[in-house]
Structures are given as C-alpha cells and as structure tokens.
C-alpha cells in the first residue's frame, strides 16, 4: 500500500482549492449515469483528511438517486473536483484524482465499479 502524503487540488478556474492527506492507491471509475458523463476517477478519504482551502462560496450542490452524496461543482467553471457524503466508516469525501495537482494519471491503477446496476 502507498504511503499517506499531502496532495493539493481544485477546479479548473482555481476558485475551489483543497488539500487532502491520503495514500493514493487504486482509484475507482464508475458507470453510473453521473460518473459516466463526467469521467471521474475517484478515491475516497475520511472527512477529517480533507480540507477545503478556498471556494466554499463558489460551490453548487447537486444530488440525485438516493440523495446521500453531495456532488459539488464550481459554479464558475463547472468542474466537480470532490464530493461529500456518508461512507461506511462515517463522513467521507470522494476526491476526483483527475483534479489533483501533479499526479501522473497513467500510474494510478483503476477499478471499474458497476454503479449502473444500483
């Protein structure tokens, strides 16, 4: 397993910025109606390991299906760089690996999740 380290990330226009502490291992791609259209590559961390640095006032919330995940996107550029929700171990953040600074996406292994079946 990869060692935990600090990453920074955010949206395209830079109004939303965050830092996250995690061991970046396998990421998830999903074929649900939302992820398939956005092309997200996700990893999940406990809410305590995620810190929004700026842009809370730039975020718009979208919920669908069971309405348990807050799909947050920048109201200026439209990029969804992270989401908030309740995971099996409590409050969590889903971080879009594609929005992390300096990550070589080709080196991140991915696993396909069949969200369409839910």
**Token pair recorded at residue 56:** 């809370």
State the pLDDT at residue 1: 59
Q: How many CB atoms lie within 10 A of CB 69?
A: 19
pLDDT digits (tens, 9 = 90+) for 17-47: 999 999 999 999 988 888 888 889 999 999 9
Domain regions of the chain by residue span: 5-117
C-alpha torsion sign, points 45, 94, 81, 55: negative
pTM of the model: 0.91
pLDDT confidence of 61, banded at 50, 70, 90? very high
Q: Which CATH number fits domain 5-117: 3.50.50.100, 1.10.287.4070, 3.40.50.1000, 2.170.150.70?
A: 2.170.150.70
């Amino acid at each position: 397993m990869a060692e935990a380290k600090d990453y920074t990330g955010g949206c395209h226009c830079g109004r939303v910025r965050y830092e996250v502490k995690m061991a970046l291992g396998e990421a998830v791609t999903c074929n649900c109606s939302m992820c398939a259209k956005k092309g997200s590559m996700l990893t999940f961390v406990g809410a305590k390991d995620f810190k929004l640095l700026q842009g809370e006032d730039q975020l718009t919330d979208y919920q669908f299906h069971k309405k348990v995940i807050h799909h947050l996107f920048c109201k200026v550029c439209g990029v969804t760089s992270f989401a908030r929700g309740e995971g099996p171990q409590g409050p969590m953040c889903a971080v879009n690996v594609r929005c992390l600074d300096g990550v070589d996406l080709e080196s991140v292994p991915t696993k396909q999740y069949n969200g369409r079946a839910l």
